[in-house]
């Protein structure tokens, strides 16, 4: 029997945010068995922890959606950091991912972690070649900003809609979206307060994601590069409301349009379940 813990991430309220299952000992499990386990649990992501490579990491994290392994993902990294922070009593957790080492700093209240912020890989970006097909699959006419695809381990593309109502009204063709490739599609609207977003990733086995930490960093880059926000401005993102899992994410990007120097994404998490699973 393998121990696992479930945390709801990018929230401080149980049964909200994005759940992640973290297996504390993935040693001896094949990639195929890890993938089957993630499919069985059917969460956006499932994590298996292994020993680090001797570079000061607390653990190596392998991250799986129901359909594929990811080199990096935001809410699994943050949820894992909360779990290890509670278990080890540390205020900084270093995880080795497929995209390299990620450091997460934790803030505590009355001894328990309540907020974490991860340093994310600096993304690259380029124009999305299938932007017309993407808009057709989403059922929208245009994007307010150029449609570009960002890569920080996973890949995400961004479509700006006119207002929050347009985001809420989305009814995308998930089959058509999945045929475009294995990347997330973030549809968002900017207002005076939080950015409202929905993220669809059917090509990765996730029809709609409640909270997407790996997209939050590139979204902050996208907004700053195109003048919707400023570099150094802390952006609040609201996601998951339409599927009954309201989530709050914070992202900040430092640098300039010519050189992005730092991307960080933060939020809360709460442990909601512990148990054992028969895998061997």
Q: Which residues are catalytic?
A: 45
Question: Which tokens is 129 given?
Answer: 């070649």
Question: Which tokens is 98 given?
Answer: 């497929």
3-class state of residue 238 by DSSP: strand
CA dihedral 175, 181, 183, 184 (to 10 degrees): -20
Q: Is 77 exposed, middle or buried (0-12, 13-18, 19+ CB in 10 A)?
A: buried
Query: Helix, strand, coil: what percent of the chain each, to 5?
Result: 25, 40, 35
Question: Which tokens is 232 given?
Answer: 């150094």
Question: Which tokens is 134 given?
Answer: 């993407």
Residue in 216, 246, 250 with CA at minimum distance from that of residue 235: 250
Q: Is 222 exposed, middle or buried (0-12, 13-18, 19+ CB in 10 A)?
A: buried
């Amino acid at each position: 029997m393998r121990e696992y813990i479930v945390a709801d991430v990018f929230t401080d309220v149980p049964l909200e945010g994005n759940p992640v299952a973290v297996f504390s000992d993935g040693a001896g499990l094949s990639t195929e068995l890890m993938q089957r386990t993630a499919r069985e649990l059917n969460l956006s992501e499932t994590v298996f922890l292994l020993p680090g490579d001797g570079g000061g990491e607390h653990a190596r994290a392998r991250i799986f959606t129901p359909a594929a392994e990811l080199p990096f993902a935001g809410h699994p990294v943050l949820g894992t950091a909360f779990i290890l922070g509670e278990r080890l009593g540390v205020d900084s957790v270093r995880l080795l991912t497929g995209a390299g080492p990620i450091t997460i700093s934790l803030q505590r209240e009355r001894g328990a972690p309540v907020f974490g912020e991860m340093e994310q890989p600096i993304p690259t970006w380029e124009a999305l070649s299938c932007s017309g097909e993407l808009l057709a699959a989403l059922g929208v006419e245009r994007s307010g900003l150029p449609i570009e695809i960002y890569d920080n381990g996973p890949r995400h593309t961004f479509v700006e809609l006119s207002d929050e109502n347009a985001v809420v009204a989305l009814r995308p063709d998930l089959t058509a979206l999945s045929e475009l490739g294995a990347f997330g599609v973030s549809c968002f609207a900017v207002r005076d307060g939080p950015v409202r977003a929905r993220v669809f990733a059917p090509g990765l086995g996730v029809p709609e994601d409640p909270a997407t930490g790996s997209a939050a960093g590139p979204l902050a880059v996208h907004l700053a590069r195109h003048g919707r926000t400023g570099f150094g401005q802390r952006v609040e993102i609201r996601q998951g409301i339409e599927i009954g899992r309201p989530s709050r994410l914070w992202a900040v990007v430092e640098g300039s349009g010519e050189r992005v120097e730092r991307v960080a994404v933060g939020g809360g998490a709460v442990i909601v379940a512990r148990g054992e699973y028969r895998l061997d």
